[in-house]
């Protein structure tokens, strides 16, 4: 059976949809610090930088496409520690939500990160009211941990919790 989504390195072809989804105020509901990629110029710079840091191996930005090959959102691995750790972030365009896309994309991202990059610890920092993110992460093996045990650079924020997925927790 065809996969629900595929992920691939973000590309300049994604600019119009990337800009469009950042005009939706709900992109910023839970995290007002979300980068505002709201013009084609900003999106171009964002993607050029994403390609550079992909080469450096510190951050990987992927676009998410559905079976119809429509762009539906993006997903990232950031703060990568070689052969060990990365932080996950994601967003889905408003009109494409509640179709299981982010749940499937997290699965694809972890497959890439474990098989190709050999990472085995993942974290996500999520607002506690962001039920959709919490559900999608938990379906992919993430559990809530004490922020003091975070491997990454979690800066304590009101209402934010740390979720972690470790290979050994899954056995
Ligand atoms: C959070 C977000 C990525 C979810 O993407 P999505 O593709 O709609 O998520 P899924 O379809 O995989 O749904 C995951 C689960 O959450 C549920 N869900 C989706 N949207 C929901 C909502 N607004 N309220 C409550 N539950 C919701 C789904 O029904 C599903 O539950 P189930 O597994 O029990 O069926 C999307 O809403 C978004 O981009 N929001 C704005 C940006 C953001 O918050 N990014 C994440 C920062 S950590």
Determine the distance separating the centroid of ligand 1 and the alpha carbon of 135, expressed in angstroms. Answer: 7
Angle at 67 between CA 70 and CA 140, to 5 degrees: 105
Q: Is 165 helix (H, G, I), strand (E, B) or coil?
A: strand
pLDDT at residue 150, as a whole number: 95
Q: Which of 23, 97, 104, 154 to mutate to test the pocket of ligand 1 (most atoms within 8 A of CB)?
A: 97
The predicted structure's pLDDT at residue 167:
80
Report which protein residue has its CA nearest ligand 1's atom 34: 135
Q: Does residue 170 register a pLDDT over 80?
A: no
Cβ(100) to ligand 1 under 6 A?
yes
pLDDT bucket at 136, cuts 50 / 70 / 90: very high
Say which CATH class 5-122 falls into.
Answer: alpha beta
Residue ranges of alpha helices (H) inside 2-155 are 15-22, 40-56, 101-115, 131-139
Task: Write the pLDDT tens digit of every residue in 69-126.
Answer: 999 999 999 999 999 999 999 999 999 999 999 999 999 999 999 999 999 999 999 9
């Amino acid at each position: 059976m065809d996969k629900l989504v595929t992920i691939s390195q973000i590309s300049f072809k994604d600019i119009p949809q990337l800009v469009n989804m950042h005009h939706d105020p709900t992109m910023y509901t839970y995290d007002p610090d979300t980068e505002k990629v709201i013009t084609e110029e900003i999106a171009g710079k964002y993607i050029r930088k994403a390609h550079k840091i992909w080469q450096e191996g510190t951050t990987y930005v992927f676009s998410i496409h559905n079976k119809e090959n429509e762009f539906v959102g993006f997903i990232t691995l950031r703060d990568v520690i070689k052969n060990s750790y990365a932080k996950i972030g994601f967003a889905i365009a408003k009109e494409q939500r509640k179709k299981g896309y982010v749940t499937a994309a997290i699965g694809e991202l972890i497959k890439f990160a474990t098989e190709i990059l050999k990472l085995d610890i993942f974290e996500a920092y999520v607002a506690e009211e962001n039920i959709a993110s919490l559900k999608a992460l938990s379906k992919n093996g993430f559990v809530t941990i004490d922020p003091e045990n975070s491997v990454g650079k979690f800066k304590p924020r009101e209402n934010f919790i740390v979720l972690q997925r470790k290979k050994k927790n899954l056995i």
